[in-house]
Each structure stands twice: as C-alpha cells, then as structure tokens.
A and B are shown apart, each in its own frame.
Chain A
Amino acid sequence: MKNKSLWSSFQGCVIAVMPLVVSTLVSIAAYKFFQRQTFPPFVVMATAVVVWMLVFVITYSIKQNLGEQDHERE
C-alpha cells in the first residue's frame, strides 16, 4: 500500500511538472539553435520565450484533454 502510494504520488508529480519541464527543455534547445545560427541576441531571447509559451500551452492542453478522457472512461 505504501509502495503504491509512493508510486502514484511520483507519477502524479511527474505528470504535473511535465508541461513545465518539456517547454523549458524545448525553449533551451531553441535558444541554443538560434544562437548558433547567429540571429540577433534580442531575437534569440524573444524566440526562446515565445517557444516556451507555445510549447507550454500545447503540452498543458494535451495533458488536460488526456485527463478528461481518462475521467470519462472511469
């Protein structure tokens, strides 16, 4: 019971932080890519911020939709 609870807590935590983590990683990758392509610094920074926002919105929406589908199935 304790193990299950630990596992479900871990799963819940990973799923909750997933949009933040994925968007941050993709944003860092975009930042590095545009920096290497010698884009102007402000454009690199703005693109990284915008990519973070975009990926966060997409992953969070997917997570919410999957959660709703699971809820309906139950």
Chain B
Amino acid sequence: MNENKNPFDILVRFVQWTMDILARAVVAFLDGMNDAVEHSSSPLFGVVATFLPFALPIPVAFMTATSAERFFAWDAWQAVTLGIGLEGLGLLVWVWLVESLISDDPQLRGASTFLASIATAYEITLIVLNVVLALNDGAGIVFGLGLFLICLLPAMSAAMYGFQRRQTRLNIAAKEAERKAETERLRQEKRQDRKEAQELKLKYASDTKAEAIKTIKPFRK
C-alpha cells in the first residue's frame, strides 16, 4: 500500500473536528430552543385564547370613552363608564346572538331577531360615536377606516367566543356521558361478580353438605 502521507492531514482532521463540534453545538442550541418554545407555546396559547375575547373590546372601550369626552364634553368617569358599559353589552349580546343562532332550543332561537336588533344597534352606536364623529371633526379617511376596523373586532371576537363556548359545553357533556357509562359498566360488573360469587358459595355449600351426609356414619345400628 502506498503510504503517501500529506503533511496537512493533521490540519484537515483538526478542521473536521472543529466543524463537527460547532455543528453539534448549533444543533443542540436549536433543538433546545425548539423544545423550550414548543413547551411554552401550548399553555401560552391557552391563556391568550381565554383572555382574548375580554381583551379585544378594551381599545374600543377607551376609544369610545375618549370620543365621548371630546365630542360630548363628558367627565372622564362618565366617558369611561359609557365605554366599558357599551363593550360589556356588546360582548354579551354577540355571544347570546351566536348561541341563539346555533342552538337547538326553539325558545332561544326565537330570540335571535331581538338579539340581532340589539347587536345592530350596538354596532351603529359604536361606529357613530367613534368613526362618524371623528370624520365629522376633520379626521383623515385612513384614521376613520382604522377606527372602523377596530370597532368590528369585539363583535367578531365575541362571535367566535360564542362558538367556542358551545363547543366546550358539548365536550364537557360528552365527557360526562362517558363517565356515567363507565360508572354504570363498573356497577354491572360488580353486580355480576357478586352474583357469581353467591352462586359459587351456594354450590360449595350444597356440595359440602352432600359430602357430609354421605360420609357420616349412623351411630345407631
């Protein structure tokens, strides 16, 4: 074999070793980061999704308060009360409207027209208070459009919350039914076990008795 050794082999091996360590370090760092983000994202998603329907109306509530303070010359506490109250009403009415539209309950379905009119009135009040008055005061069209889109966010969020609420309730009901079925199955099994044990006991008792009668010798002749 030709043992023609290159004097730079050791340098090549050193570079390979260094690159290997570097690549492994980067992989370990990326994997660690991936694990950390994946583990934290799921609970973060749960928290954010829970608070989102209640957080979305906050900017609109304060914008409504600012508008009321500016255009109606209301006191700050009155304006804030109006903003928070209006958004509270909006959240409630949109959640109930969605509930009435997708519910099987005929009484609740009958209330959908009434709820839809309240939801429309709420949206009109919100848009007039914020967008129309601001445009009337000389605000730009982009400002108005941005404000209009913000005004729609709470309604969309509340509608999604209504769907989610119904889905959660259905899931809980399905789990409850499953738990009841499992309890019933266990009860039936226990009953069957008890019955079998009793049958065995009776059989054993009768066998022992018969054996005893057969083996005992009469003491009288």
Binding site for B on A (CB under 8 A): 2-3, 5-6, 9-10, 12-13, 16-17, 19-20, 33-34, 37-40, 42-43, 46-47, 49-50, 53-54, 56-57, 60-61
Which residues from chain B contact A2 at a C-beta distance below 8 Å? Answer: 20, 23-24, 27
Query: How many pairs of A and B residues are in contact by the CB < 8 Å rule?
Result: 84
Which residues from chain A contact B55 at a C-beta distance below 8 Å? Answer: 49-50, 53
Which residues from chain A contact B33 at a C-beta distance below 8 Å? Answer: 13, 16-17
Contact A6 B26 (CB under 8 A): yes
Contact A5 B45 (CB under 8 A): no
Which residues from chain B contact A50 at a C-beta distance below 8 Å? Answer: 52, 55-56, 58-59, 153
**A43: shortest Cβ distance to chain B, in Å?**
5
Looking at chain B's contact residues, the main secondary structure is helix
The verdict on B62 contacting chain A, using a C-beta distance below 8 Å, is yes
**Seed contacts A10-B30, A12-B30, A50-B56; 12 additional CB < 8 Å A-B pairs:** A2-B20, A3-B23, A6-B27, A9-B34, A13-B33, A20-B41, A38-B143, A43-B59, A43-B63, A50-B59, A50-B153, A56-B45
Which residues from chain A contact B153 at a C-beta distance below 8 Å? Answer: 50, 54
Given contacts A47-B150, A49-B55, contact A17 B26 (CB under 8 A): no
Which residues of chain B (45-97) have a CB below 8 Å from chain A? 45, 48-49, 51-52, 55-56, 58-59, 62-63, 66
Given contacts A53-B52, A54-B52, A57-B49, contact A16 B62 (CB under 8 A): no
Binding site for A on B (CB under 8 A): 20, 23-24, 26-27, 30-31, 33-34, 37-38, 41, 44-45, 48-49, 51-52, 55-56, 58-59, 62-63, 66, 140, 142-143, 146-147, 150, 153, 157
Given contacts A16-B38, A43-B66, A46-B62, contact A9 B27 (CB under 8 A): yes
Given contacts A19-B41, A38-B143, contact A9 B31 (CB under 8 A): yes
Which residues from chain A contact B44 at a C-beta distance below 8 Å? Answer: 56
Which residues from chain A contact B62 at a C-beta distance below 8 Å? Answer: 40, 42-43, 46
Q: Which residue of A lies closest to B57 (CB)?
A: A50
Which residues from chain B contact A38 at a C-beta distance below 8 Å? Answer: 143
5 residue pairs from A and B, CB less than 8 Å apart: A5-B27, A37-B143, A54-B52, A57-B49, A60-B45
